[in-house]
Amino acid sequence: MAPRGEGSGAPVDSMVAQLEKHPISSILIVIAMQTEALPVVNKFQLVENPHSSFPEGVPWVHYHGTYKDIIINLVWPGKDLTLGVDSVGTVSASLVTYASIQALQPDLIINAGTAGGFKAKGAGIGDIFLVSHVAFHDRRIPIPVFDLYGVGSRQTFPTPNLLKALNLKAGKLSTGDSLDMTPQDEASITANDATVKDMEGAAVAYVAGLLKIPAIFVKAVTDIVDGKKPTAEEFLQNLAAVTAALDGAVAQIVDFISGKCLSEL
């Protein structure tokens, strides 16, 4: 896809409308953890791009390849340079999403990852959710209008046909930079009407919104936040099995997308 450059003369909205009529040719998959990313890399036989346009020295990793008629780019923020663990959370997710959009100009972003689920809202371990709305739950600014900015609620790109075809669950996602949940977080998550909570989604949505790239969010439940088990323990226990389910869903989504326009999703 040609970059949406300056000086083309066409308003961005009409360019998006045009794109909606052409088959999707390039997608960007944003995944925070290596355990989640590598099975997708293997499934689509993606290869690492050693010459990515990312700044020198950053840990971000770009894989690419072609599947059917689609150029698939997958980015993973890599391991923290000091501590060696996956660079999870909103800061890394925003940065790598921004840099990847600038470099790759995808037609569509897919943010895939694991999430905590609320059984009171119908979530169970291993469920795969296609997210309808995202918001933050740990950006409390109790000043009029700043409060709304902090919550940053937005609708995701609607994909009713995808939801129906793959028989996925639909739900709202709440994002924060902690795996655990304070009582204040819980109140905000309830106010956000969220069924799942993660550490990246709303940040990816913010950047995608800024740069006007449609984005969808696929989240697989590793732990029940309103259950009895300690979150970190339950998350680690279920990570491998749930990741397999997540990667299966991503593969099905890419298959569904193949040959379709944005407006057909």
Which residue has the closest beta carbon to ligand ADE?
Answer: 116
Min dist. Cβ of residue 232 to ligand ADE (A): 9
Min dist. Cβ of residue 225 to ligand ADE (A): 5
Choose which of 19, 223, 247, 250 interacts with ligand ADE (CB under 6 A): 223
- Give me the catalytic one of 107, 138, 185, 223: 223
52 binds ligand ADE (CB under 6 A): no
Q: Which residue has the tokens 């800024």?
A: 210
Q: Is 36 a catalytic residue?
A: yes
Report the distance separating Cα 122 and Cα 230, nearest Å: 19
Q: CA of 226: how far to CAs of 51, 111, 118, 124, 182, in Å? A: 44, 24, 6, 11, 12
Identify residues 242-261 at the interface with ligand ADE (CB under 6 A). none
Choose which of 60, 67, 157, 235 interacts with ligand ADE (CB under 6 A): 235
Q: Is 48 a catalytic residue?
A: no
Q: Which is nearer to ligand ADE, 26 or 35 (CB)?
A: 35
What's the gap between Cα 259 and its chain centre? 22
Choose which of 104, 108, 199, 202 interacts with ligand ADE (CB under 6 A): 199
Task: Give the CA angle between residues 55, 56, 59 to the nearest 5°.
Answer: 85
36 binds ligand ADE (CB under 6 A): no
34 binds ligand ADE (CB under 6 A): no
Q: Which is nearer to ligand ADE, 98 or 235 (CB)?
A: 235
Report the distance separating Cα 8 and Cα 11, nearest Å: 8
- Give me the catalytic one of 36, 127, 198, 200: 36
Find the part of the chain contacting ligand ADE (CB under 6 A) among 46-54, 56-64, 72-80, 109-117: 109-117
Q: Which is nearer to ligand ADE, 161 or 182 (CB)?
A: 182
Each residue 168-187 as x (binds ligand ADE by CB under 6 A) or -, in order, gives: -----------x--------
222 binds ligand ADE (CB under 6 A): yes
The footprint of ligand ADE (CB under 6 A) covers: 114-116, 179, 197-199, 222-223, 225, 231, 235
| Active-site residue list | 36, 223
